[in-house]
A and B are shown apart, each in its own frame.
Chain A
C-alpha cells in the first residue's frame, strides 16, 4: 500500500507538552515540514523562546538554542554571524517578542539580519497563566486585566507585522492564521517563503501566526478557533506586508 502520510522528520518525536487543542503544535509541525522539504534540517539552528514554546528545543530535530526571555533575535544574530551559510530561525510568543523583546526584534529587522522569525501571537501570556500581553484584544479578560483590557489605562494592542513592515531591512513579513485547514495551508506557504527568503540572503523574514490559547482564554478548543477568526483577524488582518521585491522597488 502506498504511504499517504508520515510524521515529519523535522520533529524529534518527543511528546509535546502543549494543552489539548493548542495550535502551538500545529505551528511546530509546519516549521518542521518546511525545513524537511527544503532539506535544511541538518543545516539549521533554531532558537527557542521563553514562553509555552520554551521546550521547543526538544521538539525540533535540528541544533537548537534556548534563549533568555525576548532575546532570541539577538541570540540568533550571534549564531548567524558565525554561521552565515546555515538556516537560523527563532520561534517566539507575543510576550517574548512584542513586549520584553521589542528592542531585539526591531533591530534584528533593522539590520536586515538574515534570519527567520516565527512569531506566535495568541493575545496572551500562556506560560505564566494568562496575563495580559501587548497583543491582548481591547476588552479581553486576562488575569491582569480582569475587567477586560481598557485602552484608556493600558493602550491598544500592538500590530507587530505592520510595525516591522515599515523597516527597510525586513525583507519578508506576513501574517497568517491556523484556525482552519485552508489557513494552515497558507501559513505553511508563508513559512516556506520566509525560509526561501533567508536562503536567498534577502534579509530578515518574519511570519506572524495568529494562534489560540484555549486554556487561558477559558474556551473549548473549537470556541478558541472561532475567536481567532471572529475577534482577532478583524484587528490583525491576514496578508503579506513585505516581500523581497518590495525592498528595492517600493522603498528605493
Chain B
C-alpha cells in the first residue's frame, strides 16, 4: 500500500471518506480548517455531500438529521465550536444514531488561543450536554493512528448506534507525517432498519427521537444506554504500555503530550531512571485495565497534559490510592519541553523516596 505524506487534518478528512463517510457538515474554526476545506474538494468526488453550515449548532443538527436518515456522517470543529455542538451530541446519543465528531482542540477558556492544547479532555470525555450520556473518545498520538481510528470510528459508531469522537490537539491536526490508508477492520453491522428513509407504505413509521415523557420509560431507556456504555468499557478500551514492565515512575499521557513523554523516558533511562508510560488511546472509556496490570515496583504515577490538569482526575480514580499521583502540565498552547518532564519525574521520585 502506498505511503503518502499528509497534514493531520487532511489525513483525518481522507480517512473519513476511506471509512465510508459521505456527508460532512461543519463550520470554520482554527486549527481544523483543513478538514472542511479538504471535504469541500474531495467529498463531491466520492459522490458525497459537503455543506458549510451557518454555525456549529446547525452543523451538529444537520449531522443528527443525516444520521437519522441512515447516512455515514461527520462533523469537525475545535474547542469553542465543540462547546456549541454539545446540545446536539446529547440528542444524538439519546436518539441512538451514529456519527463521528472530530475535535482538534485549542487553548481555552473562552476564545482562548489557537495553539494546541488538551484542556478539552473534560469537555470531550464528560461532555457538556445534558443527561447520562457517553461516547467513545479516541485520542491519536500520530497521523497514522489518527487515520486508522477515524476510518474505524464509523464502523464503531454504526455498531453501537452512538457517536464516536476523535480528539486530536492542534499539533495532530497541523503536522505532517507519512500515512498508509489500510483496509478498515469491519464489524458485523445490522441493516439500518430504524432509519427514516420513508415508509414507502410498506412499514410503520420510523421515529428518531430522544423524548420519553414517562419517567419509567426514560429510566428503561437510560439503563439500555448504560448497557451499551458497559459494553464499550469492556470491548473498546485501548491503550499502549511503553516500558512499563520495570518502571518505578509511570507517566500517563495521550496525544501530543505522550510524544514528548516518550522522548523524556528515553532520556531518563539513559541516566538510569526507570520510567515508563501508560498511553490512553481511548480516553473514554479510560483504560483502567492498564493500571491494574502495573507491577509492584511502581512507586508513583504522573499525568502529563497540555492543560492545567484534567485527565489527572481519571488517573487518580484508576490509581485508587495504590500510588501517589503527580501532575505536570503546560497550558494555553505552551508545549512542555522534554527537560521539564525529566525534571518533574526526578523531583517526584525524590518526593516519594
Contact = CB atoms under 8 A, between A and B. Distances in A.
B62 A65 contact: no
A77 interface: yes
Interface stretch (A25-33, A80-88, A128-136): A80-88
A71 B88 CA distance: 9
Contacts of A86: 197-198
Nearest to A39: B201
Interface residues of B, number: 40
A41 interface: yes
A59 to B, nearest CB: 10
B267 interface: no
Q: Which of A44, A61, A71, A103 has the most CB of B within 10 A?
A: A71
Contacts of A225: none
A63 interface: yes
Nearest to A84: B49
Contacts of A58: 207
B206 A63 contact: yes
A63 B58 contact: no
A80 B68 CA distance: 11
A78 B196 contact: no
Contact of B64 (A44, A75, A80, A104): A75
Contact of B65 (A44, A75, A107): A75
B58 A103 contact: yes
A103 B57 contact: yes
Contacts, number: 131
B61 A63 contact: no
Contacts of B95: 66
B198 A66 contact: no
Contact of A71 (B61, B67, B209): B61
Nearest to A75: B65
B196 A45 contact: yes
A80 B202 CA distance: 21
A64 B207 contact: yes
Nearest to B73: A78
A42 B202 contact: yes
A65 B67 CA distance: 11
B61 A74 contact: yes
B66 interface: yes
A74 B202 CA distance: 28
Contact of A82 (B54, B66, B199): B66
A142 B171 CA distance: 52
Interface in A16-49: 41-45, 47
Nearest to B201: A42
Contact of B71 (A43, A55, A68, A82): A82
Nearest to B99: A78
A68 to B, nearest CB: 5
A64 B25 CA distance: 21
A219 to B, nearest CB: 27
Interface string B48-88: 01010111011101111111111101000000000000011
A78 B205 contact: no
A12 B207 contact: no
A82 B53 CA distance: 15
B208 interface: yes
B55 A63 contact: no
A79 interface: yes
B62 A78 contact: yes
Contacts of B51: 77, 81
Nearest to A45: B196
Given A78-B64, A83-B69, 6 more contacts: A60-B205, A65-B207, A66-B208, A74-B65, A75-B61, A86-B198
Interface of A: 12, 41-45, 47, 54-55, 57-58, 60-68, 71, 74-83, 86, 103-104, 106-107, 110
Interface of B: 23, 25, 49, 51, 53-55, 57-59, 61-71, 73, 87-88, 91, 95, 196-202, 205-211
13 contacts: A41-B199, A45-B197, A54-B211, A63-B196, A65-B207, A66-B208, A68-B64, A74-B58, A76-B65, A78-B63, A82-B23, A104-B54, A110-B54
Ranked nearest first, the 8 interchain pairs of A and B with the lowest CB-CB distance are A78-B65, A74-B61, A42-B201, A63-B196, A78-B66, A75-B65, A78-B62, A107-B54
